[in-house]
Amino acid sequence: MTTLPRGAASVRFGDEVLLYGDRAQWKGLADRARGGNLQRRERVLDVKKERLHIVVQNGRLFQQEHPEVPVILDRGRFLLVELAPDRARRLRRKSPTCYGVLPLGKTKVVFDVRQPSRARAAPIKSIQRLVDKVSRTTFQADLARLVSFPTRFSTSAHYARAAAQARNQLTAMGYTTKSQNITVDGGASRNVIADKRGGASRARNVVMVTAHLDSINLQGGPAASAPGADDNGSGSAGLLEMARVFRDHRSKQDLRFILFGGEEEGLFGSKHYVARLPASERARIQAVVNMDMIASLNTSTRSVLLEGATLSQRVIDGLSAAAATYTHLTVETSLHPFASDHVPFIDTGLPAVLTIEGADNANSRIHSSNDTIDHVKSDLALEILRMNVAFVAGEVGQM
């Protein structure tokens, strides 16, 4: 490990470490970095530290909207950019569902990478049986039905039909279902909630799996084509697939599946749901696994990003362990939550984690008519679903 000169600092972006410091100290810092097995890429910039900001973006939405902002380091979902602090604050408030902006500050790790383990832990047979139930056929059929709607814009008649269809599917699986009415920018929309009661006789916790059902075309507007195959047909079809896997499972803890509306306009569905949770229900929430964009292969290997906060660390660790045992996924982890339905849970102190396709070379087709089913990679989605099924199985237990 390189010992940094006084006044210098480092921040990790996956398998890259950015070293930065004062110009006067740079030669000594660069000389030290030449040692060991480091592959060095030197770039000398006159940038004040207070102008360094981390961007967490969905797809390439920040770069598409702000091509004039200088990018110092590009790692797909994660960027290091140069921004004046006042402009960064304005941008942070502007598009909470497209990107997040935060000062570099004392950040040490933006995201980390864990390669698949060669020495995999022995799988638990009862969990492996559930993992093996994940089906390509039914996942692809559900995704095809979702993208058959011209759009799933949250306040459209198409969204209402997609939500009704999803609720009917969950009801047919034996779940107790309900619709929760929400308001999205003055229009009517809904969440779909499906419950399965656990068998423990004492007070039970609840494990939640969530995804947003809506889609959007930012340039074309509410009536424009928005197939939303990856964002977020993949997560919604994944939720329906997980519900199918668990429908006959006799768990100890309660299990709840939620399809949110209004995510693309500002996390309306998840904010509404969390804000109206009674204190007794909040206390029962053991873990929240949110799926958003799980089917675009953006790297040479199948990878998943687990994004949460410090309070979510147990869930991140559990998902990572499930990935190592039941999949061959490369796992990326981040404690910088932005731009999806895990955020309202985290903001109120509940342990939620976003599971999303790997960050590098991020998907540039989302929020447009180009987010079509022909770009979906089911092999990646199925691996992420196997990880999520294994984790949830461990959380809910078995009678």
Model confidence over 242-255: pLDDT tens digits?
A: 999 999 999 999 99
Sequence letter at residue 222: P
Contact present, 305 and 323 (Cβ < 8 Å): no
For 330, phi and psi rounded to 5 degrees? -80, 130
Q: Angle 235-246/136-147 helices, nearest 10 degrees?
A: 140
User: What tens digit of pLDDT does each residue of 123-179 get?
Assistant: 999 999 999 999 999 999 999 999 999 999 999 999 999 999 999 999 999 999 999
pLDDT(394) > 80: yes
pLDDT tens per residue across span 62-87 = 999 999 999 999 988 899 999 999 99
What is the bridge-based pairing of β-strands 99-103 and 78-82?
A: unpaired
Reported pTM: 0.92
Please report, rounded to a whole number, the percentage of residues in the chain having pLDDT higher than 90: 76
CA-based torsion, 20, 84, 343, 80: positive or negative: negative
Q: What is the DSSP string of 259-324?
A: EESSHHHHSHHHHHHHHT--HHHHHHEEEEEEE-------SSS-EEEEE--GGGHHHHHHHHHHHH
* pLDDT the model gives residue 58: 86
353 pLDDT more than 60: yes
Is the confidence at residue 29, as pLDDT, over 90?
A: no
Q: Is the pLDDT reported for residue 332 higher than 70?
A: yes
Helices (H), the chain: 26-33, 61-65, 85-94, 125-131, 136-147, 157-172, 235-246, 263-266, 268-275, 279-284, 313-326, 342-347, 378-396
